[in-house]
């Protein structure tokens, strides 16, 4: 029961400055990179006529430590920060989590 409560709390953005992490894997060298995402600066309000649940969009450009591959990550989130869909360039999406 306690675990479920904690899980539920993590689903909602009660904290206006929530911090998230997205993990991606470089398709060139295989490096796994954690990207810090702050709701206050990285969440862009989205309006999607085809999907009313789509509330925020996050766009990140990522460069790893071991190569010069420029990666791009786009996340579409609901208002509760649940991932709706993911788009990547030059990398593989691994996960998106609250800190």
* Residues binding Zn ion (CB under 5 A): 26, 28-29, 31, 64, 67, 69
**83-92 LR contacts (CB < 8 Å, sep 24+):** 84/51, 84/53, 84/54, 88/24, 90/26, 90/27, 90/28, 91/24, 91/25, 91/26, 91/27, 91/33, 91/62, 92/24, 92/25, 92/27
Based on CB atoms, which residue is closest to Zn ion, 10 or 69?
Answer: 69
Based on CB atoms, which residue is closest to Zn ion, 69 or 78?
Answer: 69
94's enclosing H/E stretch is strand 91-98
Based on CB atoms, which residue is closest to Zn ion, 25 or 54?
Answer: 25
Distance in Å, CB of 73 to Zn ion, minimum:
14
Distance in Å, CB of 69 to Zn ion, minimum:
4
DSSP 49: T
Based on CB atoms, which residue is closest to Zn ion, 19 or 29?
Answer: 29
Q: Nearest residue to Zn ion, using CB?
A: 26
Distance in Å, CB of 76 to Zn ion, minimum:
25
């Amino acid at each position: 029961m306690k675990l479920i409560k904690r899980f539920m709390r993590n689903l909602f953005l009660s904290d206006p400055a929530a911090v998230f992490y997205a993990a991606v894997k470089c398709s060139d060298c295989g490096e796994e990179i954690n990207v810090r995402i702050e709701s206050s600066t990285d969440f862009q309000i989205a309006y999607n006529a085809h999907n009313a649940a789509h509330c925020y969009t996050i766009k990140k450009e990522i460069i790893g430590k071991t190569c010069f591959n420029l990666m791009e990550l786009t996340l579409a989130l609901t208002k509760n920060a649940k991932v709706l869909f993911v788009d990547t360039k030059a990398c593989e999406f691994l996960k998106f989590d609250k800190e």
